[in-house]
Structures are given as C-alpha cells and as structure tokens.
Amino acid sequence: MARELARLRPGAALLAALGATAMAAVPTADVPAPGAYAAQLCVAVAQAPAQCGAVEFQLGLAGRATLRIQDVTYRLHLRPAQVDVFLFHGNMQIDEFSAAYRWVSGSLEFMDAAKGTHFRLLLGARLPPALPASAPATE
C-alpha cells in the first residue's frame, strides 16, 4: 500500500487516472465483496498533491457504501456507471454530487468535477464481522 500512496503524491497522476472520459462501466471482477474494510482515502484538489488518511469503509448490498472520517460521513450509492455521493457532518447533509467511478485493483476512484476534487479509496484487508451486542444477563 505504501507504494500505491507514493504513486499518488503528484496530483497530476491522480488527475490523469480520473479523467471523466476515462471512466467506463465497472467490471464486476474488481468490485470487492460486501463487508467492512481497513482503508485509506486520498483526496487531491486540482494539481495539489493528494492528502491521505485512514477511514472506516463499509460496503453493503445493492451498491450502498459508507465511508467515515471522524464525524464526517460519505454515503455512496454505486450505480452501474455512476456514484451518487452524499456528504454529511454529523446528521447534517453538507454536499452531494454524482460522478463516474471505477474499481481498479481494490481501489475506488471518482471525482467531483465541479470542485476539481479527486478521490481514491484504497482498500486494505477485509475486517471480521462485528460481534453482536451482548444481551443483558438475566437473573
């Protein structure tokens, strides 16, 4: 993963990888199985170097996914050729956009063209399922 992050440092490389015309229908072979994953989100604005950090990522059924960074949540609806992105701070929606996307070797790539912001989510290992909350002990 370190090699992948080093490759992302130049914003221009990420911009080239995410050109709107380069996005195509998503090959199903690259789409990971539903579940929770260790992940890093790299974000680049215009030609600036990408900034990366750890995130919580959960891929659900029917193309639904959540990406959480502290109290900021991206809710993603992955359709066949586009992703609908809804950005929340706590319970308040602060932004939304739709974009072409692609899965490439375990990473999800998309961009907010209006803001010139490029996103790359690098998936790590799939995390074990969360343990169910224990029922209170009965006497």
Q: Which two tokens stand for residue 102?
A: 């692609």
99 Cβ contact partners less than 8 Å away, ≥ 6 residues apart: 20, 23, 82, 83, 85, 110, 111, 112, 113
Identify any residues that bridge with 36 across adjacent strands, giving them in sequence order: 58
**Per residue in 61-71, pLDDT tens?**
999 999 999 99
Q: Which two tokens stand for residue 101?
A: 């996307």
**Per residue in 29-50, pLDDT tens?**
688 999 999 999 999 998 899 9
User: Is the model's pTM score more than 0.75?
Assistant: no
